[in-house]
Amino acid sequence: MSPSGARIALNIRHQLPHRLRFDCPQELSNEQLWLIETALQQLQPDWQVRAAAHRRGVVVSSQPEQRLCPAVVAGVVDTALRAPDPHGPAEPPTPLQRWLGQSRQGSIKVLMALAIAGWALPILPGTPFFLLAWWLGWRPEPEPAASAEAELQPALLQPST
């Protein structure tokens, strides 16, 4: 495509009354080939378009009894090459892309639930309830194993001097 909008130099490599072959200065993309084919088939539905010379050329052919006008075909090809890239609808997602999207959505839902739980649970912390119970007289019961260990400590068994 020419950024300045000037005409692109197309060389007619081969010409027969029912077939033309053009050489293009740059490699043609799929979109450009599709645009050339669509434009020429709107002009004449029987014309066939295909890429040539490793996508650096175009062959336009018609029925043997029809004649191609090189100026008309060159104008359509030049216009198609200077046109901005066409954008069509997005392709449908593959099964892998669909599965990844669903797992991503599931992860988002789980993380949102954890975020809400993390916000709501600290509103009612347990510390004030333990302090209230202590004030009301609750004391933890001493463990029986703790008193048995105190009796067997070597410092307590030593005779005093």
Question: 105-128 pLDDT, tens per residue?
Answer: 888 888 888 777 777 776 656 666
- The answer to pTM > 0.85 is no
52-63 pLDDT, tens digit each: 888 888 889 988
CATH number assigned to the domain covering 19-82: 3.30.70.100
Distances (CA, A) of 86 to 24, 27, 44, 64, 143: 19, 17, 22, 32, 80
Predicted local distance difference test score (pLDDT) of residue 94 = 92
- Looking at per-residue pLDDT, the higher value among 1 and 95 belongs to 95
